[in-house]
């Protein structure tokens, strides 16, 4: 083979070799370990090799750096003199006669050409490709990287040991995690990007976001407030308790003894109906129908509640305030809905908490959660300790507001529209017009 052809092939080989190590380095750093692990569990041989390399990333990054260094040195050693020698006749043609000028010019030109080939085709192009296609490159390149590692193991081990020793001398921990552990913020950002790119459908994304929110949601956030709970009483006539159960539209009802703050269990509606029918007008001791019920402090987290429901095989719990009084009621369905969204059964009447009745006008239930209000309107409410819109109004007013009471704030105006039994039932919200554009942008 002619020497010029051999040198050209050698230059191309070392450029490609440098590109190989650069692509291998960036692909094993960028590829999600979980995806490679999933493929490895399916029995794919290349995926098993790639996963092994990723788990020992510090050693294989050293191998990549060694390969890049050797390829770069060899490219400069072979390529620069060869290209400079090829360019000398060209410089003579343009009138360069001095040997010193000729040598310097050809050296600078040869160095520039080799540097261009090295940077563009040996560094930037493979790096960009590895960043865009990390999985495919990792699967295809790691078997050859593993072979290189085994072949040059003594050199790599010595180099890696020297670098680790240097880190210890400057007080840096040398241990390197097998894979990056994602934070909650990073997971949320990934979900947002996957949703924007169409990888995840909106319902899937919302469910995953609910899972992330679930661990810090407390009982009082999702309970049914005591004012909306139908309680049966041990002192009430059986017919009255039955009427309350039929009107309540549910199957399980808390049973109280004298006061709603003294809940002693719950009664199933079918048990009550059967007992009243069998009694045929005789007194019914409703205490004999009660079943055990769970009690939770108001700040109990939902994962704890769900675990307790599952362990005890219960469906109903009472939420207590700091003084032991009844704050509200919580069901297994309420907890599960925090994960999967609203579940409508045959007893539920779907009344939306937020209804849009104009471009910048909304009608709200007083029990509307602050988060639901902000999501539907695109307007943040003033910071308070309240969980509902009615609670925000009460805290702001400092007293019980009547119909027509207005609460102006930066995002618009809340107006009390309906009150019943000292409860704010309905609120109208007039949004500041400039918020319309902000909502659409979000």
| DSSP codes, 45-56 | HHHHHHHHHHHT
Nearest CA to 27 among 150, 153, 124, 141?
Answer: 141
- Segment 150-173 shows an average pLDDT of 84
What Å distances lie between residue 192 and 208, 260, 262, CA to CA? 11, 45, 46
pLDDT digits (tens, 9 = 90+) for 102-147: 667 777 887 888 889 889 999 999 999 999 999 999 999 999 999 9
Residue 332 sits in the same domain as residue 206 = no
Q: Does residue 175 fall inside a structural domain?
A: no
Looking at residue 441, its pLDDT comes to 42
Least confident of 17-26, 181-190, 428-437: 428-437
- Segment 246-264 shows an average pLDDT of 88
Residue 289 has pLDDT above 70, yes or no: yes
Q: Does residue 383 fall inside a structural domain?
A: yes
Residue 297 sits in the same domain as residue 407 = no
Q: Does residue 388 fall inside a structural domain?
A: yes
The tally of domains found in the chain comes to 4
Residue 19 sits in the same domain as residue 69 = yes
Looking at residue 399, its pLDDT comes to 85
Q: What is the mean pLDDT of the chain?
A: 85
Nearest CA to 19 among 60, 51, 64, 49?
Answer: 64
Residue 43 sits in the same domain as residue 120 = yes
Looking at residue 437, its pLDDT comes to 45
Residue 69 sits in the same domain as residue 204 = no
Looking at residue 178, its pLDDT comes to 46
Residue 112 sits in the same domain as residue 35 = yes
Q: Does residue 346 fall inside a structural domain?
A: no
Residue 12 sits in the same domain as residue 159 = yes
Percent of all residues in the chain with a pLDDT value above 70, rounded to a whole number: 90
Least confident of 37-46, 76-85, 178-187, 233-242: 178-187
Looking at residue 175, its pLDDT comes to 56
Q: What domain range is 58 assigned to?
A: 3-169
């Amino acid at each position: 083979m002619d020497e010029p052809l051999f040198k050209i092939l050698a230059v191309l080989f070392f450029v490609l070799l440098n590109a190989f190590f650069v692509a291998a380095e960036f692909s094993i750093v960028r590829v999600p370990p979980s995806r490679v692990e999933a493929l490895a569990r399916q029995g794919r041989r290349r995926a098993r090799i790639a996963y092994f390399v990723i788990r020992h990333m510090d050693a294989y990054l050293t191998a990549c750096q060694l390969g890049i260094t050797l390829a770069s040195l060899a490219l400069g050693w072979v390529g620069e003199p060869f290209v400079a020698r090829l360019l000398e006749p060209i410089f003579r043609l343009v009138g360069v006669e001095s040997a010193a000028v000729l040598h310097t010019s050809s050296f600078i030109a040869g160095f520039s050409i080799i540097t261009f080939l090295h940077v563009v085709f040996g560094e930037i192009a493979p790096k960009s490709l590895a960043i865009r296609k990390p999985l495919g490159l990792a699967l295809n390149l790691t078997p050859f990287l593993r072979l290189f590692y085994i072949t040059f193991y003594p050199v790599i081990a010595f180099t890696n040991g020297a670098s680790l020793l240097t880190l210890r001398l400057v007080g840096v921990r040398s241990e390197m995690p097998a894979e990056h552990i994602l934070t909650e913020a990073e997971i949320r950002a990934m979900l947002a990007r996957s949703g924007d790119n169409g990888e995840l459908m909106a319902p899937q994304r919302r469910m995953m976001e609910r899972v992330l929110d679930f661990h810090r949601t407390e009982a009082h956030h999702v309970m049914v407030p005591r004012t909306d709970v139908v309680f049966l009483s041990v002192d009430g006539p059986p017919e009255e308790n039955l009427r309350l159960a039929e009107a309540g539209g549910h199957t399980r009802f808390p049973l109280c003894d004298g006061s709603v703050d003294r809940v002693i269990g719950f009664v199933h509606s079918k048990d009550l109906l059967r007992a009243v029918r069998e009694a045929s007008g005789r007194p019914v001791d409703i205490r004999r129908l009660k079943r055990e019920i769970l009690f939770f402090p108001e700040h109990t987290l939902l994962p704890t509640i769900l675990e307790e429901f599952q362990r005890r095989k219960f469906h109903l719990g009472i939420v207590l305030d700091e003084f032991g009084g009844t704050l509200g009621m919580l069901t297994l369905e309420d907890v599960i809905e925090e994960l999967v969204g609203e579940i409508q059964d045959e007893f539920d009447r779907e009344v939306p908490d937020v209804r849009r009745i104009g471009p910048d006008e909304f009608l709200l239930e007083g029990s509307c959660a602050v988060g639901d209000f902000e999501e539907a309107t695109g307007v943040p409410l003033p910071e308070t300790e309240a969980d509902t819109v009615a609670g925000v109004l009460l805290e702001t007013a400092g007293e019980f507001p009547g119909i027509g009471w207005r609460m102006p704030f930066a995002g618009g105006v809340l107006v009390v529209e309906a009150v019943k039994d000292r409860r704010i039932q309905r609120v109208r919200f007039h949004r500041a017009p400039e918020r319309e554009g902000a909502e659409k942008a979000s």
